[in-house]
Structure 1
């Protein structure tokens, strides 16, 4: 393994004699987040929060979309075409280090949801006490019948009448009141299934430490396939069941699910290592809108909080008004939301988008390597278009072209992020580090109109901070004539190939 001093000794080519840089395999340029296409109310709130929090813009926007999905998923389904309709819930995954302030962003955009949960819990206190009393009375009756049956059996007398009473009593068992609980953190898929079956059929897994979800016991190699399948079915709106000898059985019909996670790259790599090919083979990750933004850590200088938050307040008022509407909860415990269709021009645009994606899935096509993700992207576009339409205009009418166009731009950006991430994930760890460092160096140098950066600064601010990993990554970049270490007096600097430092 080379250390930094050995790399400096090898950097003998004068700065004006750089060869043509060789490409990094599977590297895809990071594209700017299409912030301008977000609907007006959402865009203004995202801009307001991002201005204060200074988190990566895609992370802030994903928090807003998660709140939108969680609030609306119980109230609408979307129809893409005849016999193609389903939920609007989104699965969102942001790949970022701890400290990127996802929890803060979720707190801002989820405020109305948490307030709704608190109000519902307070309103349910009385009914829950009534239920507890009714259940205690029922259990007393049941125990009395069973005790009498034991006495009769001992006396070798008939228990037929008590058996009939016990059967009748089972039909009288009180049901607990349904109390909406929407937000969950480190819940296992199995526990989540029980919650949507028995507690409330609309839920969201929202966590800034997805290792608690992806690294949970329920995602171990033995149970990963079953649990990923369960989450897939909830994304689809399908019926899911669990029949175990050791725990209470349940069946969830008409349930809706949102997932919004932040995960560190190392944790995600470990998840892939533990689950093997299941995460992609089962279609689990294909359902996610992935973001892999550049970190803003190191650039978030102190800012006073604004005195007022008019745009965020407007966003949360709209979320609150959606949650205040009665949920279409059926007697059998699930949801049957009304279905929104695409307007004719929006339907034509959706079909065109679907077909353009489909053509690139073939071998040799641009999306062939991420065809699992790309195959779900048109579905995600329809979901997001429905969310945009109802949030901005209400549930009346068909989904318009403006909402569909905004949605396709957003999901296309997420598809590009998936290509970038899965392309680099397929590389060996040292080459993946080199690819991340390369992208960061180029962006930093272009932004600062330079071709050099001190190694300490690169380690402090860049994506590769461990010294040995930095050395390996720089060695790989030197082999490709993309960067090298140089000595300027006593300062160690990373110089990038001038051809890469020129802004495009």
Structure 2
């Protein structure tokens, strides 16, 4: 058994028995199951100690030094920088390459999601990493603008980057624009909280994003716009978003069951510590400039057909040692289908790890000018995918616990101000503060947490000498 493959499972050895089911559903039931008495768990609010996994910078291979220099000089978290670099490398390679996987040849398209606090450098990382691509795009824009129009010649729009779009907009952009594109935004709320991800559109948007990630032909039939049939288009994404804005979409179990989130490489790093001022001019950094130049070189080398499609894709193939490692990893990840297995809580993500690993390895190989994925390159791809898998476990595990504890603290503070330090469940829905607690799911979850921690109990009244329990009311337990 390859010891590297075994190491993937070790990421999860700290999971406690009885974690919630797939994608973290039924949190309220999980908290109070098992017939425990009030406060029997013995825990206190906020005692969860989840820490984001360490980002595997060395796994970026030819891009590791770039990540290190930006992280150090711009004083950023390496996870934010690494995600930005990997997604940008995907954008410049997906139009010319594909990668061999255990399930056939797949695009080098990568979807990345970074959840980080405001002020933690999302915009800074993006502006540094994407500058070379933006320069190329501007050069192409100027060349077309200054070129005299030729009658009968179809001009293809040269734009690769967008910071806000709907899936319908992306498809229309592919019709007249560059066949390899991406949505990169440091304000991910424009995507996750916008029109396309509203509750009534979320399933349709997700299904279309899945098809773009898979590299399927774009096939749309509309009554007003007619038929759109496009081949050999490639799409990647990097959305950066603040935790509060991401909460609703991340907690939607449908986005996991549909398969959208399992296609994403995710990062949720710890907030930055206090920093001292350090001036950094990336345009004077030779390592950063070399990355910009390589991005522009790879984009200039991409050919497109007369029909506006990506040209012939070069295939990055697996070496025999790399394939052996991948097979062992596949079989290990398949164990997540067993409800008793420690990876079952992240099953949709575990069973996609191998394809993500191949895409990561393929992007790194293509950037480095390699045609074959070596065993070391495959290990790097798996390490990056394993980091994402562990981050998803945190999002659907301890990070969810932290959110629930926050609701519980807020509800407890409100109860302490109530007459008699008690309230009915109906009162909570009508008058609780903050207002976001006036939601049945949040109320019930917060009550379950407080009950588990022994901080509240069913309200008890004495009427005519008889003790009666007010089943719909809760009161604070003094000195809890």
Q: Same fold (TM over 0.5)?
A: yes
Whether 1:31 aligns to 2:53 is yes
Whether 1:301 aligns to 2:276 is yes
Alignment match, 2:235: 257
* 1:26 positional shift: 8.9
Moved more, 243-252 or 181-190: 243-252
* 1:427 positional shift: 4.7
Alignment match, 1:66: 87
Alignment match, 2:259: 283
Tell me the alpha carbon deviations over residues 209-233 of structure 1, each in whole angstroms, 9 at most, x when there is no partner: 1110111112222222221111110
Q: Aligned partners of 1:245, 1:306: CA distance in 2, in Å?
A: 52
Whether 1:334 aligns to 2:355 is no
Alignment match, 2:412: none
Tell me the alpha carbon deviations over residues 228-250 of structure 1, each in whole angstroms, 9 at most, x when there is no partner: 11111010000122222344642
Whether 1:130 aligns to 2:149 is yes
**TM-score normalized by the length of structure 1:** 0.69
Alignment match, 1:84: 104
Q: Aligned partners of 1:281, 1:61: CA distance in 2, in Å?
A: 27
Aligned counterparts, 1:76-475, within 5 A: 76-81=97-102, 84-127=104-147, 129-130=148-149, 134=151, 174=152, 176-247=154-225, 249-271=227-249, 276-296=252-272, 298-305=273-280, 308-327=284-303, 329-335=304-310, 336-392=312-368, 394-395=369-370, 397-424=371-398, 427=401, 429-431=403-405
Residue of 77, 99, 111 corresponding to 1:56: 77
Unaligned runs of 5+ in 2: 1-40, 410-433, 438-444, 455-480
- Secondary structure at 1:115 match in 2: helix
Alignment match, 1:454: none
For the Cα contact (< 8 Å) 2:116–2:122, is it kept in 1?
A: no
For the Cα contact (< 8 Å) 1:27–1:420, is it kept in 2?
A: no
Q: Aligned partners of 2:146, 2:77: CA distance in 1, in Å?
A: 44
- Secondary structure at 1:278 match in 2: helix
Q: Aligned partners of 1:428, 1:314: CA distance in 2, in Å?
A: 41
For the Cα contact (< 8 Å) 2:45–2:405, is it kept in 1?
A: no
Q: In angstroms, what is the RMSD of aligned CA positions?
A: 3.1
* 1:430 positional shift: 2.8
- Secondary structure at 1:363 match in 2: coil
- Secondary structure at 1:332 match in 2: coil
- Secondary structure at 2:149 match in 1: helix
- Secondary structure at 2:141 match in 1: helix
Q: Aligned partners of 2:307, 2:45: CA distance in 1, in Å?
A: 58
For the Cα contact (< 8 Å) 2:157–2:176, is it kept in 1?
A: no
**TM-score normalized by the length of structure 2:** 0.72
Unaligned runs of 5+ in 1: 1-18, 135-173, 436-465, 482-504
For the Cα contact (< 8 Å) 1:373–1:415, is it kept in 2?
A: yes
For the Cα contact (< 8 Å) 1:253–1:333, is it kept in 2?
A: no
* 1:368 positional shift: 1.0
* 1:195 positional shift: 0.9
- Secondary structure at 1:38 match in 2: helix
For the Cα contact (< 8 Å) 1:361–1:374, is it kept in 2?
A: no
User: Whose radius of gyration is greater, 1 or 2?
Assistant: 1
